């Protein structure tokens, strides 16, 4: 998971990109980078950790120019601390291109081979972003004609060829030196990308593309639309905007996990308010709870702060049970220092959550979480509730059981580590130590997200094991798990 | 406002102090410091900003020893970035003493004079902590006898003399090289300090003192008791604990603002659960609302995350109105970089809070905040609610109007900057742009905090202008405001 | 002026490259960089200042691999602190190439145009090294055939084309990812580059190329030979060495300034011992002194430490006058800090040199310097000698008057700033405040350097104004001076 | 060995102290520190390594004030990297005192005991400087009277008591907050300290004290005189200078090693020009060489750069043999990085010195070094000369055999590590691999240094084993060697 933003402005963009990345920080905190274009010259700064740690005044001052892009990264594979994988990436031929990307390519083995053997392009990292950039560069090279100009058609032809070579999820933003900013989204629109415009008086239009709409709203940009699946948008350095559908058979299949957990609730994504989708998840989860749980057994409904609050609030309201916040979330996290001669101590969830005794003592508690992946945190939460004096503990998840890997850009453990992989629901309850365990139904999740829209399909692969891109086979999943572990 | 912790353990304390400071981080984020005692040798490391920024592995490795103390600092006066003011402070005679302190001395002008003229002690900062340390050092010097030993009586005599020389609020922890850890609290117990013990098998007892009880709970310490007003506790390096009442007329008058805003809800302070005190503030605020507000006018009750949630939840429950979370809090804050030739841009509250449109549209909203100081944030919140489509906005505060400075260790603006200073409540409503404005009554705040305890008096000075220590006169407040501004 | 080294080894090369750069540090102290190849993956680290400041342990640990190259840089143009200009440079297509370079290209205006318009290659700096790399990359791209292999012939063809496109001085080392290390020298061999070999037992040969032979000697490499003018050497990652003459009309015209000042005395360059060349400069300067100066007027001969010692020693010996070291060189230099409200203070040569009074008092001094460029230091030295009590001061230079810019890789001021530009020798003496001024003759310098070798021509352009590459016209020099100043 | 400087000026002193430390940098490169007094407030900054590494702009800007002192440190004992030992040291009672010190106390065991038991003063390091400061502080405390003023007599009384408690060598500079700058020297004047004055127009006098006179000369100060053995000088912040002899039986016994090796040749120390003393050492060494060596066997005389040049030049002149510089000194030193799985490699002297072949080939060489301590470097130099083709090698030392530890402030190995300890001269020659070995005679060294002065005695203890302070017994030397090694 990553967050991306690109801006073509009429004034310096460094602070605006920085502010946008702060608003996208929840999408990744492992590393971050900004690149700007000052005429034909690029300026890049990358750093580890969060935005506010990575950029100092002198870094910001060097990021000159009125066009730029920025990235926050949650390491999807490999070592989070590997600076080699930090985005943006740059190639100098043709033209000079800088690219950032949210998503995950699923045919990297073929791509690596082709880029090495056919295109003679050197990959200096294991990053699929570097591959995507080089495929784009190769295809743009093929469009180079005698004329010096680069017209939008050439750019769009290159993106069309990229769609043909690359599989997986990708929402990408690139800068072409001296020419403009390019944004494109995979033919299924799995990862989000939204386009905005702001009118800068007489000077002309300013354009923004970003992972989430709240970035636009915060910058006083008007939301123009989502970039369509397969579509490419090219904005020249002078602020002229061109767009074209570049995919053969585009079809919108957005990632359901954005609505479950990833996105900020105040974002609108593919026309759906994330906050309201979460409220609807709560409504539908309440129905399932009512079907399966002895309601007399529930005294209070409690969220795990912060992400499950909207769903929990609706569960409480619909069940007519009181909503209480019994868990306090500690905002400040630190490190465990390995002293010479000491073994690593495990940080427990107690460093992050604390239970307010009076809300638990003698009560039957229904806990609402947004989703359950490994289950280790959930297990500690149940223990914490019991230690605080809870009588019965019903654990619920606003998302269905996660039983398969997510290969489209979200870091997930191997199948064997998923608590729901190969377990029935009562077995999961036993594993967590809960009295009852209730999950959202897959159909309910789909309906809660798409209600009132024309969206027909969602990527629900981590719940169902059905992957929309053909290359994701059992053999592929085995390979991913092997290479992730090595 | 600061957070402090001190530990006498049977094993290295560096990680334990670090973890404790993370749990106290909400009490101060301007600077932090840890000191440890390795036999008679002290190790100190201080740094700017939050705990996780200030300590690197090599800093931690150098903090050897089984006794230590730590501090997080919220600059009460002067420049937050002034490293000279960072705690702990050290003097090498007599014995070698390191001290940290939460609170604020109110007779610093007299102290500075005495220390310079009578005691010939050099202050190398404007910090009242350095003064407190030097008063303690002078008084300990007076106790030095022919014998080499330092017995607890000598230490307690020195603290008794400190109480006589010093006025204001102070919860302090000190280490005396080669001897032990000393903790003491001012005769009114204005600032909190709690004592805990953990039995380390056959090895003996381990002792902790900290600003808040959750530090003890998290470290699996048993809560022994609050350090009493005027009391001193001395724990030798071997883990023997001694205590004595060192003040002439001790009387518990704890700071009410701890319950309103400062302390973590999962702390128990002077026997009062902070969380439950806040729930009771909500109950009593609901009564006041019911008295003054046309209830038909209220569709939903909303907290300002995070601190007003408990109160807001009770307001909603008691009024029988729906509780909704319409504001989303952005966790990631960054900086505004001043580029050459640019003017400073003001960061608005919109960087920190965002409104969820659907919760506001066409509704009458009752907003609950924990307290209102300058009012600038509240004003922006009202604007944000209106921009999101709210119909009527009632703004309420779980604390009474703040009309006077807080001189006991909380950074507050000058009187002229307090929105409630010299304004009647309808004038405040007008200033904020709210339709109604409702404050907690002072008596209700007192009752909400002390209900079910034997505590007779609270420090409510910032609401009432009545200061428990005699030195706080009009002339003093004028002087503080002058020197703060210069 | 820069120093370069490249190694193909059988074991990790990072420390060896680091040690080599320390030995080349006198050739440049503005920035430094090392790149290594670990199989097909490159690792790069660059930093400001000297080698020992720029590389920390973690930087070194990341420089994995058995092939590598390193660079120390003396900024020839532009801002020394501009990290954008720091070498090595990298392009990822074709193959992945990293290049470093000592020298200066004189047709950069044409190259920039061609690379932008014809080759669509983006230059992200003003560095001629980036241009040289991109010309090489373009030419290698032209050699890419259907086969995956890269044979030495393809590499040599590319270098041949580089020679045809590029003018100026260049000794360059490149790594081609997965293939090997390439070293080549311009068709006049203006800048030095020497090849060495070390036999690593059964494992095979190890190869080194470096700016100066002492690097080879120090690493126990056998000196194989200078890389010939126009020649290219390609060493595969397996240690097989190939070489070919790639220039149409190669002719050795080495830079005379290496012998005058740049190179370390313990290096052998183009078969000439630098130390002995300097001794011969002293012999010949002595003859000139004997011709022009009243010998009775000279009591002692003195060098300016460190570089003029060999020449001075020979002047003394041949004139039969005593050799004394009256100037002490301070090794430690620091900065002038601009405090707010202060003007910049000028650091005088007195921070670097000090005069030993007893060696000057009442004596007639003959001072030997290696060369005189601006003359500001020389003037201060004369003043210092007089202040120390010298009677008469004769100032001599082991090199002829510098009257023209050096365009082949040595940073020189504009013509107007050269003390000898447009001045006759007595005018220079007057300007410096010396009683006599004696310069080496151009023919003597040439003879001193080339004596006993078959070298027919030297680059003496800064003394004569005759440039061996045709592009250096009056118009070019004007352009260089204009752009240097802007 | 350390270098110290203190200044009372009429303008900010930070840059002046920084520049002075650069000139003293040869006296210590392990750490450095500056303290300034801005009225009664002190500012301190310390750092590792050389001056130019330790001070950044923001550090310098914080060093406000017109009075200040600075220190460069060569670790005499313990871990060079131990920041705890870095000077200056500070105590806050009485008055606030900051102190720096060059030398070594020899009764630290007694002092530590007294300070702990009698004075209740905490030492937070093993530094004898911290002890010296605390003894001074205790004695000043004893002088505190009813009156607020501190008159020079009180200060001088305290210094008198310090002389009675402390043994060893010490040249010290202290600042007393709000009062002035104090400089004093031990009763034997073992370590140097010189006083200078500069008239600042109408504003008044400026005063400086420093380890070496060249600092004064460089800052345009007039040399007033050496601080006498046992004397104290006190300069008020207003620039009034007071001085008094504070020792009972002062007697000048300066350290001979300053003249042999430590001091810069352009300094004048105790009225003796260091440069000329070294010339005289050469003259006298030449006589000894003439007595013992077959002169026909010597073709050239060669120095080891840089410190033995003056002596070597005189040896050559007096013997009538040619002087040649066959060794080149590399100025740039770096580190050996320990890579995982690698063993530490030993850096040989070849990293620092290189031999110019033509000066050695077939010749009989007489090498002059300033002194020989461990002999490891000398041995490598002999090997290097032979490898370069030398025929016979005569090794000479301008100082006598070093056979005993130096306890007065110069870091020396234990006796067992001294090559001359327990070896006769032919055995040393054999150990070094030299054909002949000739040392200066002790009487000649004494005469060379003191010639033309009234100085009757020198500290020659490391050559003779006779220590001027009584506490240095065999038992003491054993203890020092034990604790140094542990």
Task: Tell me whether chains C and B touch (3+ CB pairs under 8 A).
Answer: no
Residues on D contacting B at a C-beta cutoff of 8 Å: 40-42, 90-97, 117, 119-124, 134, 137, 141, 144, 148, 177
User: What's the pLDDT tens digit per position in B354-374?
Assistant: 999 899 999 999 999 999 999
Chain D nearest-CA residue for C63 = D339
Quick check: C486 pLDDT over 60?
no
Taking an 8 Å cut-off on Cβ atoms, the answer to whether D120 and B41 are in contact is no
Task: Give the separation between CA C10 and CA C236, rounded to whole angstroms.
Answer: 12
Q: To which H or E segment does residue D429 belong?
A: helix D425-432
Residues on C contacting A at a C-beta cutoff of 8 Å: 40-42, 90-97, 117, 119-124, 134, 137, 141, 144, 148, 177
Exposed, middle or buried, B306 (CB in 10 Å: 0-12/13-18/19+)? middle
A365 has which bridge partners?
A: A300, A393
Where chain A has pLDDT below 70, the residues are 76-82, 146-148, 341-347, 484-486
Check: CB of residue D408 under 8 Å from CB of residue D169: yes
| Closest CB to C121 among A92, A119, A121 | A92
Interface test with C, best of D318, D325, D332, D388 (most C CBs within 10 A): D332
Which pTM value belongs to this model? 0.92
What is the arithmetic mean of pLDDT over B113-120?
91
User: What's the pLDDT tens digit per position in C194-203?
Assistant: 999 999 777 7
| Closest CB to D96 among B92, B122, B144 | B122
Q: How far is CA C65 from the centre of its chain?
A: 28
Set of chain B residues whose Cβ sits within 8 Å of the Cβ of A268: none
Task: Give the separation between CA D210 and CA D6, rounded to whole angstroms.
Answer: 6
Q: Distance, in angstroms, between A48 CA and closest chain C CA? A: 15
Residue C418's contacts (CB-CB under 8 Å, 6 or more residues apart) are C373, C374, C402, C403, C404, C412
Task: Give partners of D (≥3 CB pairs < 8 A).
Answer: B, C
CATH for D276-455 is 3.40.50.2020
Taking an 8 Å cut-off on Cβ atoms, the answer to whether B337 and A309 are in contact is no
Q: Distance, in angstroms, between B333 CA and closest chain A CA? A: 7
Chain B nearest-CA residue for D177 = B122
Taking an 8 Å cut-off on Cβ atoms, the answer to whether B22 and A331 are in contact is no
Phi and psi torsions of A411, nearest 5°: -70, 115
Give me the catalytic one of A2, A246, A255, A462: A2
Taking an 8 Å cut-off on Cβ atoms, the answer to whether B95 and D124 are in contact is no
| Closest CB to C332 among D25, D325, D333 | D25
Taking an 8 Å cut-off on Cβ atoms, the answer to whether C122 and A148 are in contact is no
The pairing of strands D272-273 and B180-185 is unpaired
User: What's the pLDDT tens digit per position in B145-156?
Assistant: 766 678 999 999
pLDDT of residue D486: 44
Chain A nearest-CA residue for B338 = A57
| Closest CB to B334 among A51, A273, A309 | A51
- Tell me what the pLDDT averaged over chain B comes to: 92
Give the CA distances from residue D69 to residues B42, B345, D205, D223, in Å, rounded to whole numbers and listed in that order: 26, 42, 17, 18
Quick check: C305 pLDDT over 90?
yes
More confident site: B418 or C145:
B418
Transcribe B196-224 into DSSP letters.
EEEE-GGG-EEEEEESSHHHHHHTT-EEE
Quick check: C82 pLDDT over 70?
no
Quick check: C125 pLDDT over 50?
yes
Transcribe B299-344 into DSSP letters.
SEEEE-TTTTHHHHHHHHHHHT-EE---EEE----------TT-PP
Residue contacts between A and B (CB atoms, under 8 Å): 129
Task: Give the separation between CA A177 and CA A237, rounded to whole angstroms.
Answer: 9
Lowest mean pLDDT segment, chosen from B289-303, B364-378, C20-34:
B289-303
Nearest to B468 by CA among B232, B229, B213: B229
- Find the DSSP H helices in C213-326: 213-218, 257, 274-292, 309-319
Give the CA distances from residue B365 to residues A320, B323, C403, in Å, rounded to whole numbers and listed in that order: 22, 10, 83
Transcribe B148-161 into DSSP letters.
S---HHHHHHHHHH
Residue numbers in the known binding site of B for Mg(2+) are 307, 369-370
Task: Give the separation between CA A412 and CA A403, rounded to whole angstroms.
Answer: 11
Q: Distance, in angstroms, between B359 CA and closest chain A CA? A: 10
What is the arithmetic mean of pLDDT over C240-263?
96
D2 catalytic? Reply is yes
Nearest to B438 by CA among B427, B429, B447: B429
Residue written as token pair 């990408």: A172
Nearest to C461 by CA among C399, C417, C368, C378: C399
Set of chain A residues whose Cβ sits within 8 Å of the Cβ of C137: 93
Taking an 8 Å cut-off on Cβ atoms, the answer to whether B266 and A322 are in contact is no
Residue A364's contacts (CB-CB under 8 Å, 6 or more residues apart) are A297, A298, A299, A300, A390, A391, A392, A393, A394
User: What's the pLDDT tens digit per position in D344-371?
Assistant: 555 677 778 999 989 999 999 999 999 9
Task: Tell me whether chains A and B touch (3+ CB pairs under 8 A).
Answer: yes
Set of chain D residues whose Cβ sits within 8 Å of the Cβ of C55: 337
Task: Tell me whether chains D and B touch (3+ CB pairs under 8 A).
Answer: yes
Transcribe C1-15 into DSSP letters.
-EEEEEEE-SS--HH
Interface test with D, best of C354, C368, C388 (most D CBs within 10 A): C354
A79 has which bridge partners?
A: none
pLDDT of residue D346: 58
What is the arithmetic mean of pLDDT over C363-388?
96
Set of chain B residues whose Cβ sits within 8 Å of the Cβ of D94: 120-122
Q: Distance, in angstroms, between C371 CA and closest chain A CA? A: 39
What is the three-class DSSP state of D217? helix
Set of chain B residues whose Cβ sits within 8 Å of the Cβ of D93: 91, 93, 119-122, 134, 137
What is the arithmetic mean of pLDDT over C329-354?
75
Consult the annotation and say whether C371 binds a ligand: no
| pLDDT range class, residue C77, cuts 50, 70, 90 | low
Q: Distance, in angstroms, between C270 CA and closest chain A CA? A: 36
Q: What ipTM was estimated for this complex? A: 0.90
Check if A3-252 and A276-455 are the same fold: no
User: What's the pLDDT tens digit per position in B255-268?
Assistant: 999 999 999 999 99
Superfamily of domain D3-252 in CATH is Aminohydrolase, N-terminal nucleophile (Ntn) domain (3.60.20.10)
Q: With helix as H, strand as E and coil as C, how does chain A read?
A: CEEEEEEECCCCCHHHHHHHHHHHHHHCCCEEEEEEEECCEEEEEEEECCHHHHCCHHHHHHCCCCEEEEEEECCCCCCCCCHHHCCCEEECCCCCEEEEEEEEECCHHHHHHHHHHCCCCCCCCCCHHHHHHHHHHHHHHHHCCCCCCCCHHHHHHHHHHHHHHCCEEEEEEEEECCCEEEEEECCCCCCCCEEEEEECHHHCEEEEEECCHHHHHHCCCEEEEECCCCEEEEEECCCCEEEEECCCCCCCCCECHHHHHHCCCCCEECCEEHHHHHHHHHHHHHHHHHHHCCHHHCCEEEECCCCCHHHHHHHHHHHCCEECCCEEECCCCCCCCCCCCCCCCCCCHHHCEEECHHHCCCCCEEEEECCCCCCHHHHHHHHHHHHCCCCCEEEEECCCCCCCCCCCCCCCCCHHHCCCCCCCHHHHHHHHCCCEEEECCHHHHHHHHHCCCCCCCCECHHHHCCCCCCCCCHHHHHHHHHHHHC
Q: Domain coordinates of chain D in residue numbers? A: 3-252, 276-455
| pLDDT range class, residue B196, cuts 50, 70, 90 | very high
Integer Rg of chain D from CA: 23
Q: Distance, in angstroms, between A465 CA and closest chain B CA? A: 33
Nearest to C399 by CA among C265, C276, C281, C266: C281
Task: Give the separation between CA B233 and CA A411, rounded to whole angstroms.
Answer: 50
pLDDT of residue C160: 98
C170 has which bridge partners?
A: C103
Nearest to B5 by CA among B218, B209, B269: B209
- State percent of chain D over pLDDT 90: 81
What is the arithmetic mean of pLDDT over C328-347?
74
Quick check: D472 pLDDT over 60?
yes
Quick check: D419 pLDDT over 50?
yes
Phi and psi torsions of B350, nearest 5°: -65, -20
| Closest CB to B332 among A25, A324, A350 | A25
Chain D nearest-CA residue for C321 = D317
């Amino acid at each position: 998971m990553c967050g991306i933003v690109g801006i073509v402005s009429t004034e310096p963009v460094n602070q605006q990109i920085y502010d946008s990345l702060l608003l996208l920080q929840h999408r990744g905190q492992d590393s971050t980078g900004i690149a700007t274009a000052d005429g034909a010259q690029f300026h890049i700064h990358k750093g580890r950790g969060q935005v506010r740690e990575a950029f100092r005044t002198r870094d910001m001052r060097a990021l000159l120019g009125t066009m730029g892009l920025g990235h926050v990264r949650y390491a999807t594979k490999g070592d989070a601390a590997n600076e080699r994988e930090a985005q943006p990436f740059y190639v100098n031929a043709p033209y000079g291109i800088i690219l950032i990307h949210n998503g995950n390519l699923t045919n990297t083995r073929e791509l690596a081979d082709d880029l090495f053997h056919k295109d003679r392009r050197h990959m200096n990292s294991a990053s699929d972003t570097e591959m995507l950039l080089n495929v784009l560069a190769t295809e743009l090279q093929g469009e180079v004609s005698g004329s010096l100009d680069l017209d939008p058609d050439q750019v769009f032809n290159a993106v069309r060829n990229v769609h043909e070579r690359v599989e997986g999820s990708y929402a990408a933003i690139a800068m072409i030196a001296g020419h403009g900013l390019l944004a494109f989204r995979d033919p299924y629109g799995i990862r989000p990308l939204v386009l905005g415009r702001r009118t800068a008086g007489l000077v002309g239009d300013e354009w923004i593309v970003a992972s989430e709409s709240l970035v636009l709203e915060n910058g006083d940009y008007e939301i123009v639309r989502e970039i369509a699946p397969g579509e490419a948008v090219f904005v020249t350095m002078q602020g002229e905007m061109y767009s074209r559908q570049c995919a053969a058979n585009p079809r919108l299949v957005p990632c359901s996990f954005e609505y479950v957990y990833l996105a900020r609730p105040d974002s609108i994504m593919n026309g759906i308010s994330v906050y309201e989708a979460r409220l609807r998840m709560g409504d539908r989860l309440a129905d399932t709870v009512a079907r399966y749980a002895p309601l007399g057994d529930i005294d209070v409904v409690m969220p795990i702060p912060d992400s499950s609050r909207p769903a929990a609030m609706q569960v409480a309201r619909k069940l007519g049970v009181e909503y209480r916040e019994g868990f306090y979330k500690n905002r400040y996290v630190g490190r465990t220092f390995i002293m010479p001669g000491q073994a690593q101590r495990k940080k427990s969830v107690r460093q992050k959550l604390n239970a307010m005794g009076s809300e638990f003592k003698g009560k039957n508690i229904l806990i609402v979480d947004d989703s359950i992946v490994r289950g280790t945190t959930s297990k500690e939460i149940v223990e914490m509730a019991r230690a605080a004096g809870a009588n019965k503990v019903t654990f619920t998840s606003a998302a269905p059981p996660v039983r398969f890997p997510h290969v489209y850009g979200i870091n997930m453990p191997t199948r064997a580590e998923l608590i729901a992989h190969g377990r029935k629901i009562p077995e999961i309850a036993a594993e967590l130590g809960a009295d009852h365990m209730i999950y959202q139904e897959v159909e309910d999740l789909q309906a809660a997200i798409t209600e009132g829209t024309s969206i027909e399909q969602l990527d629900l692969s981590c719940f169902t094991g059905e992957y929309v891109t053909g290359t994701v086979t059992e053999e592929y999943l085995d390979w991913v798990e092997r290479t992730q572990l090595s």
